[in-house]
């Protein structure tokens, strides 16, 4: 089947490559562009370090995640039925319709939440400031969606376990639901926070998806493998235009969706431990941002010069391409380690 998956990846790459430049031009026409930022942190205070390194990026089109989501959905809707009718052997760990429902509900619902946030940022900017939706409102909606998804995974698919390397499957019972909510919500936010440098989040996601693509193929889960192949192809085409200096950014429509979706893929495969390893760059970015926020609120001082951690690295003199490239290298090693654990 690997030759089929590689073909799907290439087809998705070519299709998205054809569409991405017209899509960038459309975003310019719609003025769906990054605004000059005035209020940046959770207390609506200026962040000079961010301004210093990123003020020149205002005007860059935002919303590339919408193109990737649309491309994957359309290609999957066309190609997967063809595969089913072509007498190609299709296997799945769960009922295919239910498995696809939870994947695409996550992919689309978190994308719509992010799109709404993006629209608030760019077209309601004078009212909302840079952040669009208030943090507490966005978090509430993320938890609501994650709860619906987690309950469907538990009750609809009957998943209540995580696989721990060298120990095997461990049943969590009903406790699986809050664990799942935490993982989905956490990765949605962590990925969103990581999407702050050109090519950083998408490059790390590309590496992580390759790891989970291998794990899904090893688990003989055809729907997930096909979905990941199409997602990877579209992502690589987008990344060509997202590397420094970026011509297009994901926007929340992509970052909220992609973080939540990779978490759901890991839950469906039972590979939570590999997710924590492969996704540790996202976790580090998110935790440093959370620690900084809490320390300023409750201690009255900053723990880091700037947060998330990529801003601290810029502050101490690392250039943006160096940070991104070294993060990718770390991501490759972590992906290999995560794969090694996931196969044990």
Alpha-carbon gap, residue 55 to 52, rounded angstroms: 6
pLDDT given at position 55:
63
Mean pLDDT (whole number) for 217-240: 96
Q: Which helix (H) or strand (E) holds 171?
A: strand 168-171
| Domain ranges, ordered by start, for the chain | 2-273
Q: Give 303: exposed, middle or buried? Use CB within 10 Å, 0-12, 13-18, 19+.
A: middle
Residue 128 has pLDDT above 50, yes or no: no
pLDDT given at position 184:
98
Model confidence at 166, in pLDDT bands (50, 70, 90)? Answer: confident
- In this structure, the chain runs to a length of 344
Query: In sequence order, what are the residues at sequence separation of 6 or more whose Cβ sits closer than 8 angstroms to the Cβ of residue 58?
Result: 33, 34, 35, 36, 37
Alpha-carbon gap, residue 196 to 209, rounded angstroms: 19
Model confidence at 122, in pLDDT bands (50, 70, 90)? Answer: confident
Query: Cis ω on the peptide bond leading into residue 165 (within 30° of 0)?
Result: no
Model confidence at 144, in pLDDT bands (50, 70, 90)? Answer: very high
Q: Which helix (H) or strand (E) holds 164?
A: strand 161-164
Mean pLDDT (whole number) for 72-97: 91
Percent of the chain, pLDDT > 70?
91
The model carries a pTM of: 0.93
Model confidence at 36, in pLDDT bands (50, 70, 90)? Answer: low
């Amino acid at each position: 089947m690997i030759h089929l998956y590689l073909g799907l990846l290439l087809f998705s790459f070519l299709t998205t490559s054809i569409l991405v430049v017209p899509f960038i031009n459309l975003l310019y026409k719609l003025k769906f562009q990054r605004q000059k930022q005035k209020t940046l942190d959770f207390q609506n205070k200026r962040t000079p370090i961010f301004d210093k390194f990123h003020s020149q990026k205002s005007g860059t089109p935002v919303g590339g995640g919408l193109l990737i989501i649309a491309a994957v959905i359309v290609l999957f809707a066309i190609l997967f039925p063809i595969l089913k009718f072509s007498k190609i052997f299709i296997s799945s760990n769960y009922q295919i319709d239910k498995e696809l429902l939870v994947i695409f509900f996550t992919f689309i619902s978190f994308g719509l939440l992010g799109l709404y946030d993006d629209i608030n940022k760019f077209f309601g900017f004078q009212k909302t400031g840079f952040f669009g939706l208030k943090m507490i409102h966005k978090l509430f909606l993320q938890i609501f969606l994650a709860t619906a998804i987690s309950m469907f995974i538990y009750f609809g698919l009957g998943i209540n376990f995580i696989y721990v390397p060298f120990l095997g499957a461990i049943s969590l019972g009903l406790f699986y639901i809050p664990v799942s909510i935490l993982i989905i919500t956490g990765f949605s936010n962590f990925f969103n926070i990581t999407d702050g440098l050109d090519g950083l989040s998408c490059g790390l996601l590309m590496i992580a998806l390759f790891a989970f693509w291998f794990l899904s193929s090893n688990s003989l889960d055809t729907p997930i493998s096909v979905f990941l192949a199409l997602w990877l192809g579209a992502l690589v085409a987008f990344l060509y235009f997202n590397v420094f200096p970026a011509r297009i950014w994901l926007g929340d429509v992509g970052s909220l969706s992609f973080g939540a979706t990779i978490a759901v893929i890991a839950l469906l495969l039972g590979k939570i431990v590999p997710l924590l390893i492969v996704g540790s760059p996202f976790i580090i970015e998110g935790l440093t941002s959370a620690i900084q926020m809490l320390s300023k609120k409750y201690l009255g001082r900053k723990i880091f010069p700037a947060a998330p951690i990529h801003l601290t690295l810029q502050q101490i003199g690392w250039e943006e391409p160096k940070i991104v490239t070294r993060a990718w290298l770390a991501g490759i090693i972590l992906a290999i380690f995560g794969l090694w654990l996931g196969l044990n």
